[in-house]
Amino acid sequence: GKQDYKKTRPMLRATRLKAEAKKTALGVKEVALVLAAILVFLLAFYAFFYLNVSNEVDLDLDPDEN
């Protein structure tokens, strides 16, 4: 507080802009959470189709056909 009078106006503005940019910047946690959510979605999508295809293959290979 008391020592801010020694700073010039451009320095005060730069300090304020730096603090605002720091508040609005994406953190590592947010980026990691988004990537984890995308990975989980892709794995679920892959598992869904894998299970559907494997069930269809099992039905086509009926051993009692002969």
Mean pLDDT for 2-29 is 78
The residues spanned by each domain of the chain are 4-60
Direct distance between the N- and C-terminal alpha carbons of the chain, in angstroms, rounded to an integer:
91
State the Cα–Cα distance between residues 50 and 38, nearest whole angstrom. 18
Look at residue 21 and tell me whether its pLDDT is greater than 80.
Answer: no
Phi-psi region of 12 (alpha: psi -120 to 50; beta: other; left: phi over 0): alpha
Q: Summarize pLDDT for 22-63 with one digit per residue, the tens.
A: 777 778 888 889 999 999 999 999 999 888 887 766 655 656
